[in-house]
Chains A and B, each alone.
Chain A
Amino acid sequence: MAGPVLELRNLNKEIPRPGKEPFQIFNNLNLSVREGEFVSIVGPSGCGKTTMLRVVNGLMPHSGGEILLDGKAADQVSDQLLMGFVFQGASLLPWRTSLKNVLLGLEGRGNNGQEAEQIAKKFLDLVGLNGFENHYPHELSGGMQQRVNLARALAVNPRILLMDEPFAALDAQTRSFMQLELLRIWAETKKTVIFVTHMIAEAVLLSDRVIVFSHRPGTIKSEFDIPLPRPRDMDIRSDPQFLHLENQIWKQIEQEVKAAGGFAQL
Chain B
Amino acid sequence: MTEEQRNLVSILLRVGSVLTGLLGWHYLAVAVIKDPGILVSPVEVVSKAYEMMVTTGELYPHLFASSIIFFYGFVLAVLVGVPLGFVMALSPLVRDYVNPWMTTLYTAPRIAFAPILLLWFGIGAGSKVAIVFLGCVFPVLINSYYGMRVVNREYVELARSYRLDRWALFGKILLPASVPFILAGVRLAIGRGLTGVAIAEWFGATEGLGYLIFFAGQTLNVPTLFVGVAVFAALGIIGFEIVRRVEKFATPWRGQTQGS
Binding site for B on A (CB under 8 A): 57-59, 78-79, 81, 85, 87, 89, 91, 93-96, 104-105, 107-109, 136-139, 152, 156
Contact, CB under 8 Å: A91 / B155 = yes
Partner of A85, one of B161, B177, B251: B161
4 other contacts beyond A85-B162, A91-B157, A96-B253, with CB at 8 A cut-off?
A59-B161, A81-B162, A93-B172, A138-B255
Contact, CB under 8 Å: B251 / A95 = yes
Contact, CB under 8 Å: B162 / A156 = yes
Q: Which residues of B contact A78 (CB under 8 A)?
A: 163
B96 at the interface (CB under 8 A from A): no
Task: Tell me, rounded to whole Å, the shortest Cβ–Cβ distance linking A57 to chain B.
Answer: 6
Contact, CB under 8 Å: B161 / A95 = no
Contact, CB under 8 Å: A104 / B158 = yes
Contact, CB under 8 Å: A94 / B253 = yes
Q: List which B157-198 residues lie within 8 A (CB) of chain A.
A: 157-164, 168, 172-173, 176-177, 179
Q: What are 8 A-B pairs with beta-carbon distances under 8 A?
A: A79-B163, A87-B157, A93-B155, A104-B158, A104-B164, A107-B162, A138-B254, A138-B255
CA distance in complex: A108, B169 (Å): 10
Contact, CB under 8 Å: A107 / B160 = no
B154 at the interface (CB under 8 A from A): yes
CA distance in complex: A152, B155 (Å): 14
Contact, CB under 8 Å: A108 / B253 = no
Given A91-B155, A93-B155, A104-B158, A136 contacting B163 (CB threshold 8 A): no
B259 at the interface (CB under 8 A from A): no
Q: Which residues of A contact B177 (CB under 8 A)?
A: 93, 95
How many contacts between A and B, using CB within 8 angstroms?
Answer: 59
CA distance in complex: A78, B172 (Å): 21
Q: Which residues of B contact A59 (CB under 8 A)?
A: 157, 160-161
Q: Which residues of B contact A81 (CB under 8 A)?
A: 162-163
Interface hub of A95, A96, A138 (most chain B Cβ within 10 A): A95
Q: Which residues of B contact A139 (CB under 8 A)?
A: 255
CA distance in complex: A81, B155 (Å): 17
Given A95-B251, A95-B253, A136-B252, A87 contacting B164 (CB threshold 8 A): no
Partner of A104, one of B162, B251, B255: B162
Partner of B154, one of A89, A109, A137, A156: A89
Given A93-B155, A108-B163, A138 contacting B172 (CB threshold 8 A): no
| Smallest Cβ-Cβ distance to A104: which chain B residue | B162
Task: Tell me, rounded to whole Å, the shortest Cβ–Cβ distance linking B44 to chain A.
Answer: 49
Task: Tell me, rounded to whole Å, the shortest Cβ–Cβ distance linking A86 to chain B.
Answer: 10
CA distance in complex: A78, B159 (Å): 14
Contact, CB under 8 Å: A138 / B162 = no
| Smallest Cβ-Cβ distance to A137: which chain B residue | B253
Q: Which residues of A contact B158 (CB under 8 A)?
A: 87, 91, 93, 104
1/0 contact trace for B59-94 toward A, CB 8 Å? 000000000000000000000000000000000000
Q: Which residues of A contact B253 (CB under 8 A)?
A: 94-96, 136-138
Q: Which residues of B contact A96 (CB under 8 A)?
A: 253
Q: Which residues of B contact A93 (CB under 8 A)?
A: 155, 158, 172-173, 176-177
Contact, CB under 8 Å: A107 / B155 = no
Task: Tell me, rounded to whole Å, the shortest Cβ–Cβ distance linking B190 to chain A.
Answer: 24
Q: Which residues of A contact B155 (CB under 8 A)?
A: 91, 93
CA distance in complex: A108, B171 (Å): 12
1/0 contact trace for B212-251 toward A, CB 8 Å? 0000000000000000000000000000000000000001
Q: Which residues of B contact A104 (CB under 8 A)?
A: 158, 162, 164, 172
Interface hub of B157, B173, B179 (most chain A Cβ within 10 A): B157
CA distance in complex: A81, B163 (Å): 7
Contact, CB under 8 Å: A57 / B164 = no
| Smallest Cβ-Cβ distance to A96: which chain B residue | B253
Contact, CB under 8 Å: A57 / B161 = yes
Task: Tell me, rounded to whole Å, the shortest Cβ–Cβ distance linking A135 to chain B.
Answer: 10
